[in-house]
Every structure is written in C-alpha cells, then in structure tokens.
Structure 1
C-alpha cells in the first residue's frame, strides 16, 4: 500500500472515531494484514488503548475485489445481524465512509482463523473448534431465516442492489445451461432419471422455502475466528458477498471438500453434522424432518460437486500428481456418500460415482482411497 494511502486512511479513521466518540481519537499503530485490504489499528483516546479492524476497497490497478458494492453489502449484513436481530456472531460496524471506500469494524482478536489451526495441528486437535464452527453456521441460518425483508431494507438503504445478491441464483442458471453439455462430452450424460433429479436439485436451490437464510457467501473455515484455547466459541467474518439463499448451502463445507481441502472426514461420525442440524432446527423446524432435510442437504452437496466439475478442463491440463485432481474425485464421491446416507437423489448420486470412476481411470494419480483416515485425515489441505 502506498504510504500516502495508508496516511489518508489513518486520518479518515481518526476523524470517523473522533466524531463517533465526541472526543479526540488517535491511531497509534497501523498493522496491514496482508494480502487483504485490511489493517488492525491500535487506538488511543477511547478510555484506554484498544484495537479495531479497518477494511477498504482496493484501488490498485489489476487488483481483485475492487467493487464498491462489496463494502455496502458487508455493512448491510453486519448491521442486519447486530441491529435488526441482536446477534453477536460477527463483528459490529463501528463507522463507515463510503466516499473513501472504508469501514471500521470490531476487532475480534485474539481469535484466529480456524483454517490456520487445522493446517498447523490437524482436525483431531481442534474437534471442539470445528463443532463451534458447525454451530455458528447453523446459528446464522436459524437466526436469519424469515428476515430477508429486513436485510433488504438495510441493503437498499446503502444504494442499488449488487450483483452478489443474486450470485447463487446466477450460478444455478449457469449450471443449468452448462452442466448437461459438459457431462455429455465427458461420456456421463445427465439423461433420464439423472436429468430429472438434476432438475430437482436446481429447483430446490431456486426455491429454498423455509430454508431461505442469510449466508456470508463463503462458508469455509478461513472465515471463522476462534480462540486457540478456552471457550470454543466462534465468530464469522467476510460478508462482502452476503445474500439470502438456501441455508443448507452453508452446510456443504461440513460434508464435501471446499476449495482449501482434499477431505473433510465423516461429519456424521464426528458429530459435526448433528451440531449444525440441531442448531439450524431452532429457527428452521423443517430441519427436523429427515426427508426434507436430507433432500435439501443432498441437493446442496451435489450442486457443489457438479459446479466444481466445471473445472475439469483446467485440471485435465495440469501435470500428474496435481492435488486438485484428487480433490475433485473426492468432492464427487463425498457428495454421493451424503446422498446415499440420506437416501435422496439416488440416480444423480450414482452419476456422481460414475463420473468419479471415470476421472480415476483418466487420472491414475487420483485413484486413491480418500476414506483412509491415515493417508487422508479429515481436513487434509489441498496444497502440501
């Protein structure tokens, strides 16, 4: 970050917080949290030294995530949680200056990102933190279900709706158009009963009914902060792509590998699935219905697997041994296992297994047993 940019943002934060507290506030330290457009600041003048987190819109040429609507969406979502619903599950918004593309948030330190702990110590060492993560995802959905109108009020008060608000629906439409052609080209067509179930999956996600709830748009372990020791609570971060969508899309990360992982283990055996489901059911009673819940969860997991299959061309061009190939095989098989466990969408689950088998034959380096907990313990990272 250019020094002038940091200096300007520091002055803006001081002005915002001085106005908020009606007394002078100084930024005495500015710690950039690379590679994000985020800094932790140490403040003086608010009773005692304290810290806050500053986020801003990137302005360097070639940067990603430069759209101003991202901060508008994050602020709307966080205010919806804290002001509309009284939830302490995410940071509070302290101050904003949208003209400068800047927002000041609560600092949740000394919590740290759960994915860092999993990479460092392995999942077995942090079973209680993973359980807290599963409950936090369930709590977010349970507490926000039925309140989409209130969120929309927060969002529209900050300006026009942004493209992220329809991101999931856009992905559903894209998959509806692209997946059949790609599957046919691979030699595993989505035809007959498989096609019918694929349509049912998309219909489920198009119309979540009582499962419509707020998501931060990236339900992964890098976006949850936990204490390394002490109470196993959890706080969710990064709401730049927040939107109301199907609540069970937020449970996929417990059942099927996300972008960072090759495996996630067995969430039923570890209890993670139950932690999430019981918490979700407090606000969405339909989650207690085995058929309704199983159909929705299976739809979400199979949707994710088929979406990830769209990367086939890029992965097929990579060198032998690329771990993303292994991840794609396990993603398809984990989604199929979820469907089989819940006895839902059996034909599409069978298609997922046949597709995984095809990839195993095409990529002998990916023909491994991912259910072996010794070779592939839960939350094995995709990159060594």
Structure 2
C-alpha cells in the first residue's frame, strides 16, 4: 500500500472510530499481515474501546480495486448476517465499515492463531482436538444458516448487485471444464456412464435443496482461528467470497487436500468425519441419510478434484520432484477414495482413478504411495 494510501486509511479509520465510540480514537501503531491487505491496529482513546482491531482494505489498481471492493461488501454482508440475523459467534464481529472509503474494521480475535500455523509447526498428531474443532465449526456454520438464504441476500443486495446462482455453482466451477479437457489429453476421455454421473453430480451441487447453506467458499485450515491451548473456541474468517452453496462443499477440506497440503488423511478413521456430520445434522437432518449425504459429499469432492486438475499444464512444465505434482495425484485419489467409501458415483470414480494412473505414468517422480503414514502423514504441507 502506498504511503499516501496508508495516511488516508489511518485518518479515515480514526475518524470513523471516533464517530462509532463518540470519543477521540487515535491509531497508536499497526502491523501489516502480509501478503494480504489486512492489518492489526492498536488504538488509544479515553473511551472504552478495544485495545486492537483488524482492518481490511481495498488495494491494487483500478481493476483490482473494483474486484476487492465487491469482496469487501460481500464480507460485510456475511458477517452482519451471521451476527445479527443468525445470532452466531462463529465469525468475527464488525466494529465499523466504510465501503465507500474501501475498508472494514473487525473484531480482533487474538490470541487465537490459524489452524494451519499449528499444523505446520507441530504436526496433525499434536492437534487432533483443534482439527475436531475445525470440523465442528464447518458443520455448525452450515447448520446455523441452512434455509436462511433469503435473509442473507436481502442484506447483501443493499450493498450492491449479487448473483445467487453463481454462488450456488461456486466461484471455481468454470475450472472443471478445463480439468475435463486435460483428462482427455491424458487419454482418459469422459464418456458414457461416467459422463452421466458427472452431470448428475453437477446438478446435485447446483440444486442443493436442504443442503443450501452459507459458506465462505474457502474452507481451509488457514481460515479458522483458535486458541493454541485450552478450549479451542474456534472462529471462521475470510468471508470475501461468501455465498449460499451446497453445504458439503465445506466438508471437502477434511477428505481431499487443499492448496496447502499434500495429504489430509482419512477423516473416517480420525473421527473428524463424524464430528463434522453430527454438527451439520443439528441444522440439516437430511445429513443423517447415508445415501443422500454420500452422494453430495462425493459430488463435492470430485468437483474439487477436477478444479485442481486444471493446473495440469502448469505442473507438467515444472521439473521432476515438484510437490504440486504429488499433490494433484493425491487429490484425485483422495476424491476417488471418498466416493468409493460412500458407494457413490462408481463410474465417475473409476474415471478419476484412470486420470491419476495416467499422471503416475507421466510423472514417475510422483508415482508414490500416499497411504504410507511414515512418508505422507496427515496434513503434510506442500512446499
């Protein structure tokens, strides 16, 4: 952020908080949370105000700023919806906002830290209770918001245009097409019953029925903050891309590696799957139906695997030994394993395994045993 923009943001922040608290508020110091346009800001005031807040702002050039402004409005609407319409404390509260000036002031959740920080530092075995809190929080968010899309979109529409159909599809859905094309180039053409099952899975995600719930659409371990010791007291963050979509897309991160991980382990053996599903069923009873739950979960996992497959040309151009090659194969095989476990999408599952096998043949450096816990423990980070 340029120096002039920093000064403007600080002055505007002080003025806004002075109005909020009806007393002078001065920014004492601030710390940028690289690489994002986010900072922790310490305050001084004679009034009773928080010692610190978190500020998110619009950054970048004109084109980027327009995009970021849209994201900022979405986060504002989602957080206000969760706190005021739903009445849940799963996310930070909004202290103040000035969408026109391009920044949002949030409750500071410190001393909580991100789960991915703990996993990278100590390994998954040291934080099973934190992973369980993560699983419960993802399920609880969907349970609390299911059936309340109209209230959210009424609030979001007050801040600017929004497309609920695009939210349901998911912001990364277009990448599935590229993934399918790359599979054909690898000799795994999508056809017959596999193509029919993919169409069915896509329809499931586009029309979630009772599984329609709010998601931040980035359900990964870096977007949950919790205490490193003692009660976890989890909070979900980063709602810039929030929208109502199929609730089980939020469960994918428990089964299939996200961008940060080579492996995530099998949540059915660690109990994370049960933690998530129980929390979800408190608001969406249909989650107790094994077939319905399994079909939706398989659809979500396969969809994510195809989204990640669009990266194939990039990874193919990299030198042998690149960790992202390992990750792509592990992602495809984890999605197939999840579908097989839930006895869903058998032909599509076989097609996904064919793609993974083709990549193993093409990338001999990535032809490894991801089920070996010694070499690939749960939440082994991608370098």
TM-score under structure 1 length normalisation: 0.95
Are the counterparts in 2 of residues 164 and 241 from structure 1 also a CA contact under 8 Å? no
Give the Cα–Cα distance (whole angstroms) in 1 for the partners of residues 297 and 50 of structure 2: 46
How far did residue 49 of structure 1 move? 5.9
SS of the residue aligned with 1:152? helix
Are the counterparts in 1 of residues 168 and 244 from structure 2 also a CA contact under 8 Å? no
Counterpart in 1 of 2:221? 221
Are the counterparts in 2 of residues 58 and 66 from structure 1 also a CA contact under 8 Å? no
Q: CA, structure 1 residues 154+63, in 2 after alignment: closer, same or farther (shift >3 Å)?
A: closer
RMSD across aligned positions (CA):
1.8
Greater mean alpha carbon deviation, residues 190-199 or residues 3-12: 3-12
Give the Cα–Cα distance (whole angstroms) in 1 for the partners of residues 144 and 12 of structure 2: 34
SS of the residue aligned with 1:274? helix
Counterpart in 1 of 2:367? 367
Counterpart in 1 of 2:212? 212
Unaligned runs of 5+ in 2: none
Give the Cα–Cα distance (whole angstroms) in 1 for the partners of residues 363 and 90 of structure 2: 43
How far did residue 365 of structure 1 move? 0.5
Per-residue CA deviations over 1:204-248 (Å, capped at 9, x if unaligned) read 111111100000011001111011111122101110000100000
Counterpart in 1 of 2:113? 112
Give the Cα–Cα distance (whole angstroms) in 1 for the partners of residues 233 and 335 of structure 2: 28
TM-score under structure 2 length normalisation: 0.95
Counterpart in 2 of 1:23? 23
Per-residue CA deviations over 1:157-205 (Å, capped at 9, x if unaligned) read 1112269953835644553x44544332221111111111111111111
Are the counterparts in 1 of residues 14 and 25 from structure 2 also a CA contact under 8 Å? yes
Are the counterparts in 1 of residues 180 and 306 from structure 2 also a CA contact under 8 Å? no
Counterpart in 1 of 2:122? 121
SS of the residue aligned with 2:28? strand
Counterpart in 2 of 1:318? 318
Give the Cα–Cα distance (whole angstroms) in 1 for the partners of residues 379 and 337 of structure 2: 17
SS of the residue aligned with 2:369? coil
Give the Cα–Cα distance (whole angstroms) in 2 for the partners of residues 364 and 232 of structure 1: 42
How far did residue 60 of structure 1 move? 4.7
Are the counterparts in 2 of residues 265 and 378 from structure 1 also a CA contact under 8 Å? yes
Unaligned runs of 5+ in 1: none
Counterpart in 2 of 1:347? 347
Counterpart in 2 of 1:286? 286
5 Å-filtered alignment, 1:25-174, equals: 25-45=25-45, 46-47=47-48, 50-60=51-61, 66-161=67-162, 166=167, 168-169=169-170, 171-172=172-173
SS of the residue aligned with 1:7? helix
Are the counterparts in 1 of residues 226 and 235 from structure 2 also a CA contact under 8 Å? yes
Q: CA, structure 1 residues 52+162, in 2 after alignment: closer, same or farther (shift >3 Å)?
A: farther
Give the Cα–Cα distance (whole angstroms) in 2 for the partners of residues 157 and 277 of structure 1: 34
Are the counterparts in 2 of residues 59 and 66 from structure 1 also a CA contact under 8 Å? no
Number of matched pairs = 382
Give the Cα–Cα distance (whole angstroms) in 2 for the partners of residues 32 and 328 of structure 1: 32
Are the counterparts in 1 of residues 164 and 243 from structure 2 also a CA contact under 8 Å? no
SS of the residue aligned with 1:68? helix
Give the Cα–Cα distance (whole angstroms) in 2 for the partners of residues 237 and 298 of structure 1: 26
Give the Cα–Cα distance (whole angstroms) in 1 for the partners of residues 126 and 272 of structure 2: 15
Are the counterparts in 1 of residues 175 and 307 from structure 2 also a CA contact under 8 Å? no
Give the Cα–Cα distance (whole angstroms) in 2 for the partners of residues 165 and 57 of structure 1: 23
Give the Cα–Cα distance (whole angstroms) in 2 for the partners of residues 241 and 53 of structure 1: 18
Give the Cα–Cα distance (whole angstroms) in 2 for the partners of residues 279 and 294 of structure 1: 16
How far did residue 251 of structure 1 move? 0.3
Are the counterparts in 2 of residues 39 and 54 from structure 1 also a CA contact under 8 Å? yes
How far did residue 93 of structure 1 move? 0.8
